[in-house]
Amino acid sequence: MKTILKYICCGMLLLTAVSCSKELGKLPENAKVDGNTILDQRTAEIALNAVYYRFANVQASSNTTSWRDHQVVPGMCAGCLGSGYGIDRAEENNYAGSGFAGVYWSECYALINAANGVLKGVEPLAEQGFTGNRKKEMLAEARVMRAYGHFKLLSYYGEWYDLSSAYGALLRTAFITLSNIPKKRSTVKESYDLILEDIDYAIANAAAVRPNYYASRWAAMALKLRVLMSRGDYAAAATLAGTIIQDSPYKLEANVKDIFYMKGLRSEEVILGIQPQQNQQSYYYNLSSQYYPGASSLYVAKKKLKDMLAGDPRQSWLIGSENKEEKDTYYFLKYIPEGTKATITSETAYAFRLTEVYLLRAEAILRSGGSMQEARNLLKEVMKHAGITDFSAVDNAATTTDLLLQTYYEITKSLVGEDGQEWMALLRLPFATVRQLKPEINDQIRYIMPIPREEFLQNPSIGDQNKGYQQ
């Protein structure tokens, strides 16, 4: 019962994080909550803060956020990042033999269960007990967090690319107890329907202005943009991205390097980020120290990424010295400059940035038969903010197929090591192109991971294992 108990226990931490504008806060030792302990706006705010605690994947033992599996694992699957102390099977798209195959399962269900606890507790409360529109705003934030978790699960464990597939996500819309664990996984269409229902509620009801480590209406829209891209609703995605670019308060950073080395969450480009915990930079095993100089683990850039950045000014600060432990790997310096120590800025992580919105709008325009020139302009605008002055590769892309490939390259170079968009952008390409760019992906089976074996032991109602894997 280990995995199930883990996310039941994580859900029971709903009132364990202290609501604070500076940090998420440490967990009280006597935490005990389900939705029944949410009594008013004050206790609801504390419980909602605990949902963000799970979103940030705070490790109770060290009081540090852990976004390794968002930053590193997708980059491994895409062939851009790797382990510096020996290859992990995820780099070969052999997930059954990888130590990372189950990481999203437990993390996402802990988040979903926490969100469901807030929904259970807040929904019955009278609106008069909340200031202004705060009750609906809180429900919106909980629902966008639930949607984020379900979409991550669909993306890594479901056949998200096939709307007719029965292999969707295992959707959880009720707070988990031992009595309601058995549940069948939903179809892909059912999964998208629930995810979009949650997001649309959030767009309609979330606050337009929130600190950027909380989910605003704009963060919900950015999540919907990702979902529409995976679902294949490209015209709607292009329109939505245009709305975010035109109407939101966010601006592309003048020099994108400054986000990662200087500004962090102070950047006007960050739509939703992960705020480090107090003194996290001092913890010996924090994430940025595992990029440089290395700790028990070392996560590195691979030659594929270095070569992709040839002639690009970003290579000078994204790619560092050669790693002597593993051939054709280099220090990955997106978050921490070589020769320095971890800081609060280097420990900051990013779920959504405006750069992604520009790039997904370009891709959506191309996929929906829109203007190639408009797509070029969007790509070049992002590239300008990275210090690029030579746009010949984009200008010389004569066909939609050619320009889509250039868009994939720019998504990878801009967003590698953040929240998995280099991986999803690769998989949206035609299979023949995917296989050419990543030869290890010789079957669409390798687009998704196996459901952890423990789930079948604890939840025999779930249904079949993903194709190509043994139950």
Domain assignment present for residue 12? The answer is: no
237-244 own/partner pairs: CB under 8 Å, 24+ apart? 237/360, 237/361, 237/364, 237/368, 238/361, 238/364, 238/365, 238/368, 238/370, 241/357, 241/358, 241/360, 241/361, 241/364, 242/361, 244/218, 244/354, 244/357
pLDDT at 28: 34
Q: Please compute the mean of the pLDDT values over residues 425-445 and round it to a whole number.
A: 97
Inter-axis angle of helices 188-205 and 134-157, nearest 10: 150
Consecutive H or E run containing 151 = helix 134-157
- Confidence bin at 323 (pLDDT 50/70/90): very high
Residues 248, 217: Cα–Cα separation, whole Å: 10
What are 330-363's pLDDT values in tens digits? 999 999 999 999 999 999 999 999 999 999 999 9
Please enumerate in sequence order all residues whose Cβ is within 8 A of that of 284, keeping only pairs 6 or more positions apart, or say none: 295
Separation between Cα atoms, residue 118 and residue 140, nearest integer Å: 11
Model pLDDT for residues 218-229, shown as the tens digit of each residue: 999 999 999 999
The Cα–Cα gap between 41 and 130 comes to 6
Q: What is the pLDDT of residue 9?
A: 46
**At residue 289, does pLDDT exceed 60?**
yes
- 17 is written with which tokens? 């994080």
Q: Is there a domain that residue 402 lies in? A: no
pLDDT at 176: 85
pLDDT at residue 25 tops 50: no
User: Largest alpha-carbon pair distance within the chain?
Assistant: 63
Q: Reduced to 3 states, what is the DSSP secondary structure of residue 395?
A: helix
Long-range contacts of 127-132 (CB under 8 A, 24+ apart): 129/40, 129/41, 130/41, 130/44, 131/41
Residue 237 pLDDT level (bands cut at 50, 70, 90) = very high
φ and ψ of 444, to 5 deg: -65, -15
Q: What is the mean pLDDT of residues 204-223?
A: 98
pLDDT at 405: 98
Stated as kind and residue range, the H or E segment containing 299 is: strand 299-302
Separation of alpha carbons 400 and 372, rounded Å: 7
Would residue 78 count as lying in a domain?
A: no
Q: Are 72 and 81 in contact (CB under 8 A)?
A: yes
**Separation of CA 348 from chain center:** 14
- Measured distance CA(413)–CA(259) in Å, rounded: 15
In a domain, 178, yes or no: no
Helix, strand, coil percent content, the chain, rounded in steps of 5: 50, 5, 45
Separation of alpha carbons 323 and 232, rounded Å: 39
The pLDDT of residue 32 is above 50: no
Contact 51, 108 (CB under 8 A): no
Look up residue 206 and give its DSSP letter. S
List phi, psi (to 5°) of 448.
-130, 165
57 φ/ψ angles, rounded to the nearest 5 degrees? 55, 50
pLDDT surpassing 70 at residue 2: no
Q: Which two tokens stand for residue 281?
A: 């930079």
* Backbone phi and psi for residue 429, each to the nearest 5 degrees, phi listed first: -75, 160
Which residues contact residue 55 at a Cβ distance below 8 angstroms, ignoring those fewer than 6 apart? Answer: 111, 145, 148, 274
Residue 196 has pLDDT above 80, yes or no: yes
Bridge partners of 352, per DSSP, are 272
Domain, as residue range, for 294: 259-350
Exposed / middle / buried, residue 268 (Cβ in 10 Å: 0-12, 13-18, 19+): middle
Closest CA to 320 of 308, 336, 344: 336
Burial (CB count <10 Å: 0-12, 13-18, 19+), residue 284? exposed
Of 117 and 12, the structure prediction assigns the larger pLDDT to: 117
Q: Is residue 275 part of a domain?
A: yes
User: Which tokens is 450 given?
Assistant: 């196996």
Segment 261-288 mean pLDDT: 97
Structural domain includes residue 325: yes
d(CA 218, CA 220): 5
Instruction: Provide the domain count of the chain.
Output: 1
∠ CA(383), CA(384), CA(390), 5° rounding?
A: 75
Q: Is residue 151 part of a domain?
A: no
Residue 135: inside a domain, yes or no?
no
In degrees, rounded to 5, the angle at the alpha carbon of residue 392 between the alpha carbons of residues 389 and 395 is 115
Residue 386, pLDDT above cutoff 60: yes
